């Protein structure tokens, strides 16, 4: 810590910061543009000017940029004895006002038609500095805008050249198709030519850009002002990482999603799937009313009452019910289903493979010594070994975290030259493109390959063998691998060496190779690293947002459910938020759905399973429900209902509770709100003991008030439903949470789990996040939301895992079809968003050049494969690095079969 | 002020109208003796020592003591494996034409200076960063470098000393900002040539993050003479404690615009009246930019100033490059300043706000005033921009914008009546 | 596509540096030398050779005033308009070019012979006004001299 004097008052601040960080962390206001807590300082905008004095005697002082001046003035050249600054100094204030005036010279005064208006950092800073009169009387410079794809809108005239976009996009995010062009007053931020921004993180530009140059194009299509959005804290459900989000709704539609800062999880950033994948909430495929099969065999809309009666008839007289839960439904919804059907008749809704693999991940983390890091901790790993995961496509936000971790080792040099880490440009200049140890072993090429020390392409079995060999190289007590080719053995040694030499080594693996051996090998590596005081860490990516949670609840998978129905142990099947055709071979699912007497589906989207159900109940999406997901980190996190829909949709658990009534269950729990279920969960499962505590209960109030979902400025109070009616409706009640569906309530900062918007007086843009953090860029006041449920046991010393697989043997006449993942396309829900669908690839079969040659097919020519007994014809795509004897099939794209990959198939022309 | 010894080491080999010395000629005049001396008798630190003692100050504009700069470079076994020396031959400061003369007049002298500087900091690679327009210099340097390699002054194991140096010539593609030493490093790296922040200083983290020294052409040309003749001799070349001669020059409507090598501290009046032959007939002296476009105007009352770092500074300007641009009484000062600010508007790199958006505003205002569209408040607006950016360092990212402010602020101070007259009469009174 | 020759010349430059990107300005100049200007196509080709993205290379290319990202005439006139030349009458020279060739700064004559561009101080202020045409320096300009020079280049 260091003592600094700000306007003659002493303050204690952390001394590795710059003065801007220190001033903002103290809660004071100081305008800035080019600085960003995650991006560091470059000193471009000159907005954060303050006065620095040599000592108490010095009355003249010198204007310096706070973001470029260390708190520790002994590290200045020449050094000062103390740090004494003034923010209020008249000259400094004048300078800051002038900088805004210059920035405004070319800025169009188009706030009324600008999407950023009302959440604009430039507006905030303009007001903060007091600049309000335009003296410049000449023409402004103008630019041409570019088409940047379905996600991002470009409006260059608004640019104030803070350079944050390119610094985020290129330096932080590793993208290379956005850059700064030209110079002087004409600097231009854009692509080389019109076209889709290629980075999977382009959406963050929306929040990183302090003005309206880069805005959310999907939002534009149904735009409303920030203050007219109804918002609540939420969790992204498009992969397993559990990024925190703030969805914004108006008139029954989700209109945009912003990142909800969580200092341990996603920080400031989301991936584009998470940000732009919300369209399914508004989709035409939504189920809005109960559906019931009519005599003609079709599904027709009905009323809740009518359906209730019908279901009562299915369920009451001793139906042999089973319930199939879902890894994309909340713990609470799954628990309600389990309560309805009974613990021994509840199935976790995962494919057999996923269920087994997720279980394996949980076991490794619970029984072994290696801890799973948070995403923030991933950023500080100094050596990373990825085994089997294509992170960009299976866990995108983790890709962004790893991109930071590869800089850890080289950055150590900066400290030796006394270059502070926040001095971003200087650090990058010193480090150049040097990268720390980073090894990727996957079946297919990944977008991270270009920053890897070495890559290795192989089938899952051979990947596992590499992993086992690395573990053995680290600790001879770990099982060895025989007959490794020399080059692989060498690679294993160099990986082991690099991991051993690092302070914070990390292994990342997961379920996407569908290979338990791969995960066990990863476990061995991490465990072998947990020696000599070193903490080896391991991260397992799992398939979905609540895979971990639902697997903690039940062991039995969809295959087991199919068996139960086939064995006639069940005649009534209740399917919760699940398209079973994504979980098991189509023929088996057909069998289940055809054999069962009654199939009741609860979901929000129409899919093949709901189409075959006898009755379908309209579930609320994440945006119309409250609940809890457990992320791959093992972090349980609460999401809150954003809005109340006009239709019959309600939380799945409420439907299920109604079914309990319909089934005449006398002992049905009297759940009145979500807290009652979480209490039930905690009671039923020791591991869920903390679930009720991850967020304040529904009865929580701040000074007697609820927390509003609408901003204090929500306009047209009496016409919030102006599209329908101008009289003011009574806001819906919310018995499940401390939130109100109105602007009424406590407007100050709530507990971190209940932050529904980042706003603070004078700070309307997302930069208001500063005001919610203990230290800018650090943890939220009161701790980052969520609770980790899975920690290694202290004295864990498990035996190393065994079962080193045999080396992969290609087959004659058949190829092993491997799953290939796509950030835009593989996820069931996000692809329903039109913007995401536009970015998703068409189905294809990836062949390596040898396979293509022996089949005599060229790129784009159609080939036929047979999976799960179904033949499909697909265009071939030549993919040079695929291992011999394999081919690749994209997972989850609409119209593709093949959910039990890898699988062998004959490939024909 | 002590009377200096009158020698002209930098230009002694110059033969106007003829090709410069080739290697043989240069050697026979004592050339490369300094390199020989350094490699055989002097440790790298000794070279730095004598340069430091000689009080050689940088001739590129900022006047930083050269030896001191070298002494910050990490030396010895623990120093980074690569180190660089860069000669700044990007001369683009309007009104400055001294480095061209040195490059065209005696390329070997310059290369010898580079070798010595590189040796002093134990650089392995040296680059000459030459502006595109200096085509003749490019050809001459190419030839001289080849000769120096041939003779063993460059390359591996120079003169058997065990010291290796590779020297490459890089030609740029325009843009004044490339002359700013940190922008120059970005330019050499093939990146956008925007300046870098200091600290870290190039001496510890420069080109590609490695220790680097950037030195002006004229500065480097002094080094062989210092090494050959010693610090005392060098100091006695000037009127003041700052060692050496300086290439002074003048342009504008004077009788004999040219460059002269004279002792540091030679009075401005002597330069203008004796060497330049005074103003062209019918014209009167009105003002002078003493060291290029980014220095403050001086006027009549300053004519007796010694042209040296401190006195010019005290008079409110800077010695800069020591090449003067003269304003006469028939040339419009507003027009001249407008021209200067147009230059700075065009050449701003665009990185920091005050420069990118503030300087063009001054040009717009000056243009309005000069073309009869000025308003009384325009002068206040000019004052506002000047007083906010100021000539002090630290408010903008690099020294470019403070430089841009200098002629404008002093112009407004000395020629304010002219501005007011333009605005009052809604026209340029100098226009014929 | 880069020609063999262009590629070879660019690759020769690699020897001077430890990083390929360092050659970017040289590479742009090499292509410009052969083709007169640098097209979008060339930017992509050079970027590929230097292992840069086109966006990054164009960021460099568009910074420099002597890299032409639009076609120029057969001869490029770089007329110094910095301060000494201004004092010595470069505005008159500019006006004369406009009169003679019908082009102002940034324009190319209709016969595609000449492009006129402003140039920073050419470092020959003692012989102002000055200009370069292509790679040749012309000093102590006046209207007559310019007429003579134009005639010579026209042929
Ligand atoms: C905008 C700007 C342009 C500059 N241009 C040049 C230049 O063309 N040549 C030069 O030697 N120094 C130039 N300098 C000064 C250099 O930054 C640096 O101080 C100098 O090259 C150091 O060499 P010296 O110590 O030998 O003078 C410029 C500085 C600034 C701020
Ligand atoms: S003052 Fe700023 S914009 Fe101007 S040249 Fe320097 S860094 Fe670039
Ligand atoms: S001002 Fe034109 S050559 Fe110097």
Mean pLDDT on C131-142: 97
Chain C interface includes B325 (CB < 8 A): yes
Distance from residue C79's CA to the centre of ligand 3 (Å): 9
pLDDT class for A687, splitting at 50, 70, 90?
A: very high
For residue A550, CA distances in Å to A236, A333, A599 come to 16, 10, 21
Chain C interface includes B343 (CB < 8 A): yes
In chain A, the N- to C-terminal Cα span, in Å, equals 70
Taking every pair of Cα atoms in chain C, the longest distance, rounded to a whole number of angstroms, is 50
pLDDT class for A898, splitting at 50, 70, 90?
A: low
Reduced to 3 states, what is the DSSP secondary structure of residue A179? Answer: strand
pLDDT in tens, C39-85: 999 999 999 999 999 999 999 999 999 999 999 999 999 999 999 99
Contact at CB, A161 and B353, closer than 8 angstroms: yes
For residues C28 and C60, the answer to whether their CB atoms sit within 8 Å is yes
Query: Does the pLDDT of residue A719 top 70, yes or no?
Result: no
Mean pLDDT on C136-149: 97
Distance from CA of C147 to the nearest CA of B (A): 23
Q: Is the CB of B145 under 6 A from ligand 2?
A: no
Which residues lie closer than 8 Å to B41 by C-beta, 6 or more apart? Answer: none
As a whole number of angstroms, the distance between CA C130 and CA B133 comes to 12
In chain C, the N- to C-terminal Cα span, in Å, equals 32
Angle A313-A314-A319 (CA atoms, 0-180°, nearest 5)?
120
What pLDDT score does A77 carry? 82
Query: Does the pLDDT of residue A233 top 60, yes or no?
Result: yes
For residues A847 and A857, the answer to whether their CB atoms sit within 8 Å is yes
As a whole number of angstroms, the distance between CA A2 and CA B42 comes to 46
Q: What is the ipTM of this complex?
A: 0.96
Closest chain B residue to C87 measured between Cα atoms? B252
β-partners of residue B327 are B287
Give the ligand 1 atom nearest the CA of B60: 27
Q: Which of residues 106-125 of A touch B (CB under 8 A)?
A: 106
pLDDT in tens, A571-616: 999 999 999 999 999 999 999 999 999 999 999 999 999 999 999 9
Mean pLDDT on A546-569: 97
pLDDT in tens, A121-174: 999 999 999 999 999 999 999 999 999 999 999 999 999 999 999 999 999 999
Q: Is the CB of B399 under 6 A from ligand 1?
A: yes
Contact at CB, B326 and C87, closer than 8 angstroms: yes
pLDDT class for A714, splitting at 50, 70, 90?
A: confident
A partners (3+ CB pairs within 8 A) are B, C
Closest ligand relative to A34 C-alpha = 2
**Substitution candidate for ligand 3 out of C87, C92, C120, C124 with most atoms within 8 A of CB:** C124
What pLDDT score does B100 carry? 97
Query: Does the pLDDT of residue A718 top 70, yes or no?
Result: no
pLDDT class for A723, splitting at 50, 70, 90?
A: confident
Interface test with B, best of A43, A183, A407, A412 (most B CBs within 10 A): A183
Mean pLDDT on A252-266: 97
Mean pLDDT over all residues of chain A?
A: 95
pLDDT class for A720, splitting at 50, 70, 90?
A: low
Residue nearest to atom 6 of ligand 2 (CA): B398
What pLDDT score does A716 carry? 60
β-partners of residue A819 are A889
Mean pLDDT on A347-368: 96
For residues B220 and B141, the answer to whether their CB atoms sit within 8 Å is no
Query: Does the pLDDT of residue A271 top 90, yes or no?
Result: yes
Contact at CB, A185 and B350, closer than 8 angstroms: yes
A473: its two tokens:
């190289």
The number of angstroms, rounded, from the C-alpha of A311 to the middle of its chain's C-alpha atoms is: 37
As a whole number of angstroms, the distance between CA B94 and CA B179 comes to 12
What pLDDT score does A796 carry? 74
What pLDDT score does A534 carry? 77
Contact at CB, C58 and A176, closer than 8 angstroms: no
CB contacts of B253 in chain C (<8 Å) are: 87-88
pLDDT along chain B (432 residues), means of 10: 88 94 97 97 98 97 96 95 97 97 98 98 98 98 98 97 98 97 98 96 96 98 98 96 95 98 97 97 98 97 97 97 97 98 98 98 98 97 96 95 98 98 97 80
Q: Is the CB of C83 under 6 A from ligand 3?
A: yes
Question: What b/e readout covers A330-355, taking b as 16+ CB neighbours within 10 angstroms?
Answer: bbbbbbbbbbbbeeebbbbbbbbbbb
For residue B113, CA distances in Å to A522, B60, B248 come to 59, 15, 20
As a whole number of angstroms, the distance between CA B116 and CA B148 comes to 13
Closest ligand relative to B91 C-alpha = 1
Q: Which of C19, C53, C58 sits opposite A181 (nearest CB)?
A: C58
Cis peptide bond upstream of A78, omega within 30: yes
Reduced to 3 states, what is the DSSP secondary structure of residue A101? Answer: helix
What pLDDT score does A868 carry? 85
Q: Is the dihedral of CA C55, C59, C61, C62 positive or negative?
A: positive
Q: DSSP letter at B201? A: P
pTM of the model: 0.97
Q: Which of C19, C40, C62 sits opposite A182 (nearest CB)?
A: C62
Helix then strand then coil, in percent of chain B rounded to 5, is 45, 15, 40
CA dihedral of B36, B42, B43, B45, whole degrees rounded to 10: -110
Distance from CA of A175 to the nearest CA of C (A): 10
Return the percentage of chain A with pLDDT > 90, whole number: 89
The number of angstroms, rounded, from the C-alpha of A131 to the middle of its chain's C-alpha atoms is: 38
For residues C113 and C75, the answer to whether their CB atoms sit within 8 Å is yes
Q: For strands B245-251 and B258-263, give the pairing.
A: antiparallel
């Amino acid at each position: 810590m260091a003592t600094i004097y700000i306007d003659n008052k002493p303050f204690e601040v952390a001394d590795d910061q710059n003065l801007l960080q220190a001033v903002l962390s103290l809660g004071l206001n100081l305008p800035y543009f080019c600085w960003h807590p995650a991006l560091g300082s470059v000193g471009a905008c000159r907005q954060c000017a303050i006065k620095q004095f040599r000592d108490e005697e010095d009355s003249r002082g010198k204007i310096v940029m706070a973001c470029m001046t260390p708190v520790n003035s002994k590290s200045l050249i020449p050094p000062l004895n103390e740090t004494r600054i003034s923010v209020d100094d008249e000259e400094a204030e004048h300078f800051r006002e002038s900088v805004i005036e210059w920035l405004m010279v070319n800025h169009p005064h188009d706030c009324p038609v600008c999407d950023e208006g009302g959440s604009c950092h430039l507006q905030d800073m303009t007001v903060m500095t007091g600049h309000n009169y335009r003296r410049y009387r000449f023409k402004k410079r103008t630019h041409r805008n570019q088409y940047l794809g379905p996600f991002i809108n470009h409006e260059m005239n608004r640019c104030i050249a803070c350079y944050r976009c390119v610094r985020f996009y290129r330096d932080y995010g590793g993208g290379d198709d956005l850059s700064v062009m030209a110079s002087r007053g004409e600097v231009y931020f854009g692509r080389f030519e019109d076209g889709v921004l290629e980075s999977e993180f382009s959406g963050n530009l929306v929040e990183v850009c302090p003005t309206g140059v880069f805005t959310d194009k999907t939002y534009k299509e149904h735009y409303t002002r920030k203050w007219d959005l109804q918002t609540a804290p939420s969790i992204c459900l498009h992969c397993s990482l559990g990024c925190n989000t703030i969805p914004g709704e108006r008139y029954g539609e989700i209109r945009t999603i912003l990142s909800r800062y969580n200092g341990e999880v996603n920080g400031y950033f989301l991936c584009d799937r998470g940000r732009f994948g919300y369209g399914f909430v508004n989709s035409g495929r939504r189920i809005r009313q109960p559906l019931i099969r009519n005599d003609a065999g079709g599904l027709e809309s009905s009323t809740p009452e009518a359906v209730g009666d019908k279901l009562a008839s299915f369920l009451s007289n001793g139906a042999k019910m089973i319930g199939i839960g879902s890894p994309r439904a909340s713990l609470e919804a799954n628990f309600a289903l389990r309560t309805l059907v009974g613990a021994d008749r509840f199935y976790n809704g995962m494919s057999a493979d996923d269920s087994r693999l997720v279980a394996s991940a949980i076991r490794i983390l619970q029984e072994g010594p290696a801890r799973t890091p948070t995403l923030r901790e991933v950023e500080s790993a100094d050596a990373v070994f990825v085994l089997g995961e294509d992170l960009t496509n299976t866990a995108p936000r983790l890709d962004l975290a790893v991109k930071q971790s590869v800089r850890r080792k080289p950055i150590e040099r900066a400290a030796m030259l006394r270059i502070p880490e926040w001095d971003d440009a200087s650090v990058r200049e010193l480090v150049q493109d040097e990268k720390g140890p980073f090894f990727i072993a996957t079946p297919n090429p990944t977008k991270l390959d270009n920053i890897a020390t070495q890559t290795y392409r192989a089938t899952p079995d051979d990947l596992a063998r590499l992993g086992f060999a690395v573990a053995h190289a680290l600790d001879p007590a770990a099982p060895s691998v025989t007959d490794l080719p020399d080059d692989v053995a060498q690679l294993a040694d160099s990986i082991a060496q690099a991991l051993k030499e690092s302070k914070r080594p990390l292994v990342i693996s997961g379920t996407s190779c569908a290979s338990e051996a791969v995960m066990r090998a990863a476990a061995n590596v991490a465990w072998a690293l947990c020696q000599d005081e070193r903490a080896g860490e391991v991260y397992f990516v799992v398939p979905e947002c609540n895979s971990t949670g639902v697997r903690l609840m039940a062991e039995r998978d969809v295959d087991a459910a199919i068996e139960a129905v086939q064995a006639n142990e069940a005649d009534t099947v209740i399917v919760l938020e699940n398209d079973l055709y994504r979980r098991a071979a189509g023929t088996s699912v057909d069998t289940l759905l055809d054999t069962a007497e009654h199939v009741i589906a609860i979901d929000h989207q129409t899919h093949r399973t709901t189409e075959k159900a006898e009755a379908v109940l309209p579930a609320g999406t994440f945006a119309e429900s409250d609940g809890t997901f457990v992320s791959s980190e093992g972090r349980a996190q609460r999401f809150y209902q954003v809005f109340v829909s006009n239709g019959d949709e309600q939380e799945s658990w409420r439907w299920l509770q109604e079914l309990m009534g319909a089934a005449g269950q006398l002992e049905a729990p009297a759940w009145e709100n979500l807290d009652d279920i979480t209490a039930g969960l905690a009671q039923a499962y020791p591991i869920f003991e903390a679930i009720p505590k991850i967020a304040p209960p529904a009865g929580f109030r701040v000074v007697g008030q609820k927390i509003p979902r609408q901003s204090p400025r929500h306009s047209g109070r009496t016409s919030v439903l102006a599209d329908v009616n101008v009289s003011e409706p009574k806001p819906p009640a919310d018995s499940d949470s401390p939130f109100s569906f109105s602007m009424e309530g406590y407007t100050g900062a709530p507990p971190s789990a209940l932050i529904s918007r980042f706003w603070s007086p004078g700070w309307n843009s997302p930069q208001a996040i500063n005001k919610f953090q203990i230290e800018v860029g650090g943890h939220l006041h009161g701790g980052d939301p969520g609770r980790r449920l899975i920690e290694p046991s202290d004295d864990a010393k498990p035996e190393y895992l065994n079962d080193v697989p045999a080396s992969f043997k290609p087959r004659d006449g058949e190829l092993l079809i491997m799953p290939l993942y796509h950030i835009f396309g593989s996820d069931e829900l996000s692809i329903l968003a039109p913007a995401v669908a536009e970015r998703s690839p068409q189905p294809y079969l990836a062949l390596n050049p040898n396979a293509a040659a022996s089949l005599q097919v060229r790129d784009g020519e159609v080939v036929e494969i047979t999976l799960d007994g179904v033949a499909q014809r697909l265009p071939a795509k030549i993919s040079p690095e695929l291992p011999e004897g394999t081919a690749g099939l994209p997972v989850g794209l609409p119209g593709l079969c093949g959910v039990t990959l890898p699988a062998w198939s004959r490939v024909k022309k | 002020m002590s009377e200096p010894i009158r020698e002209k080491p930098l230009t002694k080999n110059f033969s106007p109208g003829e090709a410069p010395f080739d290697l043989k000629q240069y050697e026979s005049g004592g050339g490369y003796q300094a390199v020989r001396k350094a490699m055989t008798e002097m440790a790298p630190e000794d070279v730095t020592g004598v340069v430091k003692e000689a009080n050689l100050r940088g001739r590129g504009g900022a006047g930083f003591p050269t030896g001191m700069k070298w002494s910050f470079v990490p030396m010895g076994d623990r120093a980074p494996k690569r180190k660089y020396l860069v000669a700044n031959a990007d001369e683009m400061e309007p009104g400055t034409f001294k480095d061209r003369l040195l490059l065209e007049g005696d390329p070997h002298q310059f290369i010898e200076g580079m070798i010595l500087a590189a040796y002093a900091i134990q650089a392995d690679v040296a680059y000459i960063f030459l502006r595109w327009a200096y085509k003749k210099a490019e050809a001459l340097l190419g030839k001289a470098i080849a000769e120096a390699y041939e003779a063993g002054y460059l390359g591996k194991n120079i003169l058997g000393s065990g010291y290796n140096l590779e020297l490459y010539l890089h030609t740029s593609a325009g843009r004044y900002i490339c002359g700013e030493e940190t922008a120059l490093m970005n330019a050499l790296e093939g990146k956008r040539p925007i300046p870098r922040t200091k600290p870290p200083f190039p001496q510890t983290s420069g080109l590609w993050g490695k220790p680097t020294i950037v030195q002006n052409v004229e500065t480097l040309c002094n080094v062989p003479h210092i090494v050959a003749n010693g610090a005392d001799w060098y100091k006695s070349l000037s009127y003041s404690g700052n060692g050496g001669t300086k290439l002074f020059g003048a342009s504008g409507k004077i009788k004999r615009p040219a460059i002269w090598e004279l002792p540091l501290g030679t009075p401005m009046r002597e330069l203008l009246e004796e060497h330049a032959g005074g103003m062209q007939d019918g014209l009167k002296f009105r003002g002078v930019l003493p060291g290029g476009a980014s220095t403050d105007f001086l006027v009549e009352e300053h004519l007796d100033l010694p042209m040296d770092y401190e006195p010019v500074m005290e008079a409110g300007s800077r010695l800069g490059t020591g090449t003067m641009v003269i304003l006469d009484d028939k040339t419009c000062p507003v027009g001249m300043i407008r021209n200067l600010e147009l230059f700075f508007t065009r050449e701003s790199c665009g990185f920091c706000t005050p420069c990118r958006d503030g300087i063009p505003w001054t040009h717009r205002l000056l243009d309005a005033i000069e073309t009869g569209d000025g308003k009384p408040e325009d002068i206040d607006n000019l004052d506002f921009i000047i007083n906010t950016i100021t000539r002090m360092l630290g408010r903008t990212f690099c020294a470019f914008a403070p430089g841009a402010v200098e002629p404008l602020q002093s112009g407004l101070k000395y020629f304010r009546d002219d501005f007011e007259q333009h605005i009052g009469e809604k026209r340029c009174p100098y226009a014929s | 596509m880069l020609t063999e020759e262009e590629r070879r010349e660019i690759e020769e430059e690699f020897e001077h540096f430890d990083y390929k990107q360092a050659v970017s300005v040289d590479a742009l100049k090499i292509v410009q030398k052969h083709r007169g200007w640098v097209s979008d196509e060339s930017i992509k080709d050079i970027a590929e050779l230097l292992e840069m993205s086109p966006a990054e290379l164009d960021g460099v290319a568009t910074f420099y005033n002597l890299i032409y990202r639009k076609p120029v005439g057969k001869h490029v006139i770089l007329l110094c308009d910095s301060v000494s030349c201004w004092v010595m009458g470069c505005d008159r020279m500019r006006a004369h070019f406009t009169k003679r060739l019908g082009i102002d700064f940034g324009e190319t004559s209709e016969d595609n012979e000449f492009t006129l561009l402003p140039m920073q101080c050419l470092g020959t202020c003692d012989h102002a006004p000055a200009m370069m045409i292509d790679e040749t320096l012309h000093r102590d300009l006046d209207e007559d001299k310019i007429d003579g020079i134009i005639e010579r280049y026209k042929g």
